[in-house]
Structure 1
Amino acid sequence: MPKAVIKSFASSDRFLSELRSGSLRPGYVLAGDEAFLYQRCRDGVLDALAPPDQRDFCLHDLDLGETAIFDVLDRAQTPSLMVPFQVIFVRGLKALYGRGSKKEEFAAIDAYFRRPNPQALILFVADHLSIPTDLRRMDMTDKERYDRIRETLGDWCGLVELARVEEGDAARWLMETAAERGARIETDAARELVDALGADMMLIASEFEKLCLYAQGKQLLTLAGKPAVETPAITLGDVETMVLAAKQRSLYELTDAISAKDRPRALGLLHGLLNASDGGEDSAIGHLYMLARTFRQMLIISEKNVRDSRAIWGVLWQGFRMPPFAAEELIKQARRYKSRGDLTRALRLIAKADLEIRSSPPDKRLVLERLVLGLATEAKVNVYEASGQFAMEL
C-alpha cells in the first residue's frame, strides 16, 4: 500500500519523483526559504545525478551576485569533457529581478531553454522568498516576486514550492521517519517537539536524531544485557529532558503566569521547572538567566512598541531572539506591563535573587519561590523605599 502523501512535502515529493523517473525538465526553480525541504531536494539531486567521485567536476554552485547569468548559461551549454552530466545550482536569483528591465538577461535565458543542453540541469534557488503554509497568507512583496518568477521562468522551468511545513505534517513526518528507522515516537512527544521548535524542520530533524540516540541508549540501560524485545520509544518526557526549547516553553508559561499576576499558577510552574532539573546552583542560575533574558526582551518590545511578531526581528538582534513559537506570546506578555518601571523593577528583583543564589543560601528553592512571588505581585509605589533602593544600587 503506497505511503500517504504529506501535504507540506507534496511539491518537493513531485520533484524527487520526476528525478527518480528520469523525466526531468532542463531547469527548476526551488522557491522558498524552507531550508529542510531545500536540503531534501538537493540531496536527492546529488544522489541521482552527481556521484561522489564525480562531484568535483559535475557539481557547480554559483551565485548571480558574483557570476553573470550569461556565464551560468554558457557553462550549462558547454559539454564537460570529464563527466557525462552537469548539475548547476544558481543562488542569488533576486539579483536577476533588481533594478532595470534585464531584457538581455531574460532573452539569453529564453534562448538557452529553447535548445537546452540535455546533459545539464539548472536549479535556480529563490530563497529570498518566504512562502507560508497557507499560500493565501503570503506577504504581498513575496507574492509579487513569486508571480514575477512564474511569468519569466515558469514556461521553461518547473516550480518547486519550499513552503513552511504545517505543524500536523511535521508531526506526521516524525512518526513516519521513526517507523522507517525501526523506532517509535509517541504522538504527544511528536506534537511537543514540533510545538517547542515552532515547526522549524531543520531544528526538528536535528533534535530528532539526538532523541533517537537517547531512546536507544535508555533502552540498552534498561535491558542491561537482555535481548531487545520492544521498539525503542521516544516519550514526552524524553522531549522535555533533551530539547532546550521544550524547557524554554515551560519558562514562557511561567512568565505568562507572572505577567498575569497569577501567583498560584506561577509557583506551580516554577516547581515543575525545578523538578525537571537537578535543583543545584547551576540549574538555579540557569533559570535566573533565562528569566532575566526574557524580561529584557519584553523591555525592548515594550520600548519599541512592537505589536506584530514580524516586527520583532527588526528590534531584537541575532542571538537575542526568542524561538518562533514564543513571539506572539511574548508580545502579549509585554503589553501587560503598563510602564518601563514595572519591567526594570522585575530585572532588579532577578538581579537581587542572582546575587543571593551565588552567596550559597541554605535553600535555593526558597530564593526562587520568593522571587516568583515578588515578580507576580503588583508593585507598591513608595517614594521612600524607591529612593532607598536607588541609593543602595548606586
Structure 2
Amino acid sequence: MGAGFQSAQRFIAEVESGRLRPGYVFAGNEIFLYERCRKAVLRQFVPPDLRDFCLSEFDLAETSIFEILDLARTPSLMAPFQVLFVRNLKQLYTRGAKKDEFAAIDAYFRSPNPQALVIFVADHIRIPSDVRRMDMDDKNRYERIRETLAEWCGIVELAQADEADAVRWIAAESERQQLRFDPDAARELADALGADMMLIANEFEKLSLYVGIKKHVTLGDVETMVLAAKQRSLYELTDAISSRDRKRALELLEGLLNSSDGGEDSAIGHLYMLARTFRQMLVILEKNVRDSRAIWQALWQGFRMPPFAADDLIRQARRYKSRRDLMRALRLIARADLELRSQPPDKRLVLERLVIDLASEPKIAPPFESQQYAMDL
C-alpha cells in the first residue's frame, strides 16, 4: 500500500493497542483515510451512549486554542476518556507568530491529561501519492507543522491514494467480503474514478449489492453501474464528433440513449456533459495544453475530466483549428438545450440533429450574417 494507507494503518494499530501519544495531527485531505482513522478512534474510545460527554469537535476559527486545551486538561465527570477533534489548524499559522498559542500547546503537552486525546486536523494540505510532486505551498505549510506540533504530536500523513492503492484496496475488501472481483473490473473501477477512494468505496458497496448472491463482479458490471465508466462512451462520442465522423457519432449517441436509465428523458444530462466537455476543450486549446501533466494546472478543481480521458480530450481539442470552431459547437449545444427545455415532441431527434451539426464542417457565413451575429453578441 502507499504511504497514506501505511500511515493510517500504523495509527489505527496504535489506537487498537492503546499505546497512544496524547496528541496527533491528521495532515492531508484524503477524506477516505481520515474517516478510517476517525472511526477507529470512535470505536475504541467513544461509546455510543456517552458520545455527547466524551467527544468534542472544535473549529479554531470559532474557538481559541486556550479554551480547547483547558477542556482537554479538565477530567470529565461523565466519561472516562475524552476525544477532541480540532479543525481549521491553518488558523494557528496565520496573522502573526502566535507565540502565546504555541506556548500554551507546549505547556499542555509537557503535562497532558492521560485520559484525553487531542487530534488536530490539517486538511488544508494536499499530500499527493508521490510526495516529490507536492505543491510548494503545501510543502511549506507541512514543514511549519512538523517544525512546531511534531515535537508533541504524532503526524499521520493522509496522502492521496493512487490507482495501485485503489486496486489493492478493492482486492483486500473483496477478500474480506468473500466477493470475487475480476482484476480488469478492479482496474476499470480505479481508473474510471481517478483513484478517488471515497467514490470507489461507495461504488464498491453499490456493486456488491448489485451482484447479490452471485458474489462476482465483472467488467460489465462496472461499466453498467458506475457513472464515470459510462462517461467513456461520451468521450468516444466527442472523439467521433471532432473527427467529423457523423455515422459513428450517431451510432454512439444511439448507444448512449439506449443504455441510459431515463432513455430520452436523460437528454438534458447528455447535453450538459457535452457542453462541459466542449468547454474543457476550449480551455485546453486556449491555454495550448499539449500533455496530460499540464492539464491539471489548466483546468481547476471541479472542472476536470477523469484521468483516463485527459490524453483523449487533448487530442480532440487540437483537431479544432481555432477558438471560433469550439464556440460554434457551444452555440449549437446552447440552441439544442433551449429546444429541449421547450418540451419538443421528440427529444431524440433534437440530439441527433445536434450531433449531425457538430460533426459537420462549419458553413462559411455570408459577410452580412457574420456582422449581424457580432451585433447580437
| TM-score band w.r.t. shorter chain | 0.7 to 0.9
Give 1:138 deviation, angstroms.
0.3
Partner AA of 1:193 in structure 2: L
1:137-216 residue pairs with structure 2 within 5 A?
137-216=133-212
- Alignment match, 2:223: 240
Give 1:389 shift.
9.9
Deviation readout 1:31-59 (Å, 9 max, x if unpaired): 00011100110000000011111110100
Deviations 1:187-213, CA, capped at 9 Å, x for gaps: 122211111211111111111111111
Q: Name the SS of the counterpart of 1:191 in structure 2.
A: helix
Amino acid at match of 2:192: A
Instruction: Give 3-state SS (helix, strand or coil) of 1:12's partner.
Output: helix
Given candidates 10, 17, 22, the residue that maps to 2:6 is 10
Matches within 5 A, 1:59-78: 59-78=55-74
1:293 paired with 2:276, answer yes
Residues 89-118 of structure 1: CA distance to partner in whole angstroms, max 9, x if unpaired? Answer: 110110101121111111111111111111
Aligned partners of 1:87, 1:174: CA distance in 2, in Å? 31
Match of 1:111 in 2: 107
Is contact 1:312–1:327 with CA below 8 Å preserved after alignment?
Answer: no
**Does the residue aligned with 2:299 lie in a helix, a strand or coil?**
helix
Deviations 1:108-163 (A, max 9, x none): 11111111111111101000000000001000010011111111111211110101
Residues 6-28 of structure 1, C-alpha deviations (whole Å, 9 max, x = no match):
65410000000011111111111
Count of residues in Structure 1 that have an aligned counterpart in Structure 2: 369
**TM-score normalised to structure 1 length:** 0.82
Which whole-Å CA distance do the structure 1 matches of 2:184 and 2:114 have between them?
Answer: 48
Q: 1:222 is matched with which residue?
A: none
Partners of 1:385 and 1:265 in 2: CA distance: 35
Instruction: Provide the rounded CA distance (Å) in 2 between the counterparts of 1:305 and 1:68.
Output: 47
CA contact (8 A) 2:3 2:129 kept: no
Task: Say yes or no: does 1:94 pair with 2:94.
Answer: no
Say if 1:376 and 1:14 are closer, same or farther in 2 by CA, change over 3 A.
same
- Name the counterpart of 2:241: 258
Matched, 1:41 2:37: yes
Question: Equivalents in 2 of 1:275, 1:385: separation in Å?
Answer: 42
> Closer, same or farther in 2 for the Cα pair 1:16/1:278, shift >3 Å?
closer
> Which structure 1 segments of 5+ residues have no match?
220-230
Give the match for residue 123 of structure 1: 119
The SS at the match of 1:313 is: coil
Equivalent in the alignment of 1:346: 329
Return the alpha-carbon distance in structure 1 between the equivalents of residues 305 and 51 of structure 2.
37
State TM-score, norm by structure 2: 0.86
Cα offset for 1:299? 3.9
Correspondences of 1:308-347 after superposition (within 5 Å): 308-313=295-300, 321-325=303-307, 326=309, 330=313, 333-347=316-330
SS in 1 for 2:97: coil
For the 8 Å contact 2:58–2:87, the answer to whether it is kept is yes
Instruction: Return the alpha-carbon distance in structure 2 between the equivalents of residues 257 and 171 of structure 1.
Output: 31
Uncovered stretches (5+) of structure 2, i.e. residues with no partner? none
What percentage of residue pairs aligned between the two structures are identical? 65
Distance in structure 2 (CA, Å) of the matches to 1:204 and 1:65 = 32
Deviation at 1:265, TM superposition (A): 5.9
**Residue type at the aligned position of 1:310:** Q
Which residue does 1:276 correspond to in 2?
259
Aligned twin of 1:79: 75
* Distance (Å, rounded) in 2 between the aligned partners of 1:283 and 1:149: 48
For residues 389 and 290 of structure 1, the distance between their equivalents in structure 2, rounded to whole angstroms, comes to 30
SS in 1 for 2:58: strand
- What one-letter code is carried by the residue in structure 1 that aligns with 2:203? E
In the alignment, is the contact (CA less than 8 A) between 1:15 and 1:160 conserved in 2? yes
Shift of 1:29: 0.5
User: What is the match of residue 375 of structure 1?
Assistant: 358
- The match for 1:224 is none
Q: For the Cα contact (< 8 Å) 1:197–1:323, is it kept in 2? A: no
Over the residues paired in the alignment, what is the CA RMSD in angstroms? 3.1
Q: Which amino acid letter does the alignment assign opposite residue 197 of structure 1?
A: L
Seen in structure 2, the aligned counterparts of structure 1 residues 126 and 278 have a Cα distance that, compared at 3 Å, is closer
Contact 1:308 1:328 in 2 (8 A): no
Amino acid at match of 1:194: A
With over 3 angstroms needed to count, the CA separation of the structure-2 counterparts of 1:35 and 1:327, relative to structure 1, is: farther
